[in-house]
């Protein structure tokens, strides 16, 4: 049984590559019946309205909702986070259909347009405790959503600090959460060389623990600081310190 990556649009190839780095087989999912052959599912980043229209065209929403309801691990990144939210604001006229299951309210385009994309160092104590490596993660935010509110059963895994207007004061916005079988990130771990989020997701299914332990990169665990920051490809995105 493989890990499925919804391959309607967006960064599904990057997720498949990240899974290969930890020794896990990923398969592209485009039809409802393909969900029967996977143990867990990743819904990638992309253009959420376009993804929703394609999912509706292929009659995927009922099957996706059933997959979530069955308790199989599901991870949404960026647009995938919007898909999984019970409520989304800031949508285009007419809105879009959601899969739901994650007790939160998401702002679809919280951080602004494509040119306002950025990177930020995110404190990730839960990820570091489970997967080792640095206590922070370099999050890549591309026309990203943010989580405005979470329900009582939702665990916050990461937040980003933002400046309020021209003032020096800062506030924190939630960008990664976990609720039962659902993981969601507003940023794009698949666009970095750091595979800890993928390994963390795999371990949400008990049967996958041995696979991820065998497939994890020895280079990363032997020298995480060097592996992450010296070998990571350079980008042109601004850095939020």
CB within 8 Å of 117: residues ≥ 6 apart: 111, 140, 141, 142, 143, 144, 237
Given the residues 14, 15, 78, 119, the one annotated as active site: 78
**Among candidate residues 163, 140, 155, 149, the one with its CA nearest the CA of residue 239:** 140
Given the residues 14, 119, 131, 190, the one annotated as active site: 190
* Per-residue buried b or exposed e for 173-186, using 16+ beta carbons within 10 Å of the residue's own CB: bbbbbbbbbbbbbb
CB within 8 Å of 7: residues ≥ 6 apart: 28, 29, 30
For the chain, the first-to-last Cα distance in angstroms comes to: 41
Are the C-beta atoms of residues 31 and 59 closer than 8 Å to each other?
no
- 78 included as an active-site residue: yes
- 58 included as an active-site residue: no
SS3 106: strand
- 104 included as an active-site residue: no
List, by residue number, the catalytic residues: 78, 188, 190
């Amino acid at each position: 049984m493989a890990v499925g990556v919804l391959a309607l649009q967006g960064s599904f190839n990057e997720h498949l590559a990240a899974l290969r780095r930890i020794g896990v087989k990923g398969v592209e999912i485009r039809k409802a019946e393909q969900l029967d052959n996977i143990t867990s599912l990743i819904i990638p980043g992309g253009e959420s309205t376009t993804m929703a229209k394609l999912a509706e065209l292929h009659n995927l929403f009922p099957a996706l909702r059933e997959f979530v309801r069955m308790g199989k691990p599901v991870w949404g990144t960026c647009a995938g986070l919007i898909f999984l939210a019970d409520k989304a604001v800031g949508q285009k006229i007419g809105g879009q259909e959601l899969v739901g299951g994650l007790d939160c309210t998401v702002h679809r385009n919280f951080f602004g347009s494509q040119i306002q994309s950025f990177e930020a160092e995110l404190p990730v104590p839960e990820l570091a405790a489970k997967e080792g490596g640095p206590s922070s993660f370099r999050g890549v935010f591309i026309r990203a959503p943010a989580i405005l509110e979470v329900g009582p059963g939702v665990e916050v895994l990461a937040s980003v600090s933002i400046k309020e207007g021209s003032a020096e004061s800062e506030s924190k916005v939630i960008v990664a959460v976990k609720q039962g079988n659902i993981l969601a990130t507003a940023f794009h771990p698949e666009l970095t060389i750091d595979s800890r989020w993928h390994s963390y997701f795999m371990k949400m299914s008990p049967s996958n623990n041995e696979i991820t332990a065998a497939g994890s990169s020895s280079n990363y665990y032997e020298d995480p600081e060097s592996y992450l920051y010296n070998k990571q490809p350079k980008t042109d995105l601004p850095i939020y310190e």
